[in-house]
Amino acid sequence: MIDGTERLAEMVAEGGVAVLTGAGISTDSGIPDYRGPDGAQIRHAPMTYQTFTRDPVARRRYWARSHVGWRTIARAAPNSGHRAVADLRDGGLLRGVITQNVDGLHQAGGCAEVIELHGNLDRVVCLDCGDGTMRDELDRRLRLVNPEFHAQVIAVNPDGDVDLPDEAVERFRLVGCRSCGRGTLKPDVVFFGETVPRPRVDASFALVESAKLLLVLGSSLTVMSGRRFVLRAAKLGIPVAIVNRGRRAVTRTRRSRWTRPSARCCPSSSAS
């Protein structure tokens, strides 16, 4: 059992740290989490893969809302939590990062060794031909076909989804794949109900298994896609430290936990 932040700083200073991050690390960047005290899931459930692929009306609603919400994601800047993780890298203490987030803020904060478990919102993929493009390019095309589309943002989800009135959604026009001309475009992220690509899972397990410490920042560990790495670390006897606000799903691991904003409680290499 890790006892106290001083002991955690000592263990971080020994190096070999694998970091697992969730939406809570980005809340200080203006992107809300799903399950924290003010979580987005309290407002409405996120889009599922099944609904997105099978329901054209729901898909239009998603893209209309995401078109507006993308501005918040694109403008977001790394906070002290992202920079602290980058400090671990610069200090030679970081084994690597697994993030459940799709905002790209770890890379923007200076950390290149990131496994994006759930993808990244700055990329778009065609479900028919597999062609990929950057989100900024899609945003430009959507602006061209929706020149007078203006909507008031009520709330933004971690996946860039927002609440919009129905009348705004109904007049929103979609665009197709520029490569095949007919394909359905989807953000290159893993929706709820979708399977994480196996290579990412394998790389994440390998990272955890090579670590001396697994540091979890801003994740409730409710979803198995992230929780399984904590369970693997515990099974191997690798210490786990959890820094998060709100409830968490893992209760029986060799770990310690702090209920503080992860951006303000992340140990950096300067703590050693």
Exposure on the CB side of residue 102, measured as CA atoms within 13 A? 24
My answer on whether 87 and 139 are in the same domain is no
User: Which one of 67, 82, 106, 118 is the catalytic residue?
Assistant: 118
Q: Is residue 37 part of a domain?
A: no
Residues 205 and 237 in one domain: yes
CB 135 within 8 A of CB 124: yes
Q: Looking at the structure, tell me whether residues 179 and 98 fall in a common domain.
A: no
- In terms of pLDDT, which residue wins out, 131 or 250? 131
Residue 130 in tokens: 């597999």
Domain count, the chain: 2
Tell me: do 109 and 240 sit in the same domain: yes
Residues 4, 111: one domain? yes
- Residue for token digits 């968490």? 248
Whether 126 and 110 map to the same domain: the answer is no
Q: Are residues 114 and 125 in the same domain?
A: no
At 187 the three-state DSSP class reads strand
Q: What is the pLDDT of residues 142-200, one digit of tens each?
A: 999 998 876 554 455 555 555 666 777 888 999 999 999 889 999 999 998 899 999 99
Annotated catalytic residue 118: yes
* Structural Rg of the chain based on CA atoms: 19
Residues 109 and 145 in one domain: no
CB 36 within 8 A of CB 246: yes
Tokens 């906070």 correspond to 79
Whether residue 215 is found in the same domain as residue 271: yes
Show Cβ contacts of residue 211 under 8 Å, excluding neighbours closer than 6 positions.
16, 17, 18, 95, 233, 238
Binding-site residue ranges for Zn(2+): 126, 129, 177, 180
pLDDT tens per residue, range 163-174: 666 777 888 999
The answer to whether residues 216 and 130 belong to one domain is no
Print the domain residue range for 265: 1-31+78-118+195-272
Q: Which residues lie below 8 Å from residue 248, measured CB to CB, with a gap of 6+?
A: 219, 220, 221, 222, 242, 257
* Whether pLDDT at 136 is above 70: yes
Q: Is the pLDDT of residue 5 over 80?
A: no
In terms of domains, do 169 and 265 share one? no
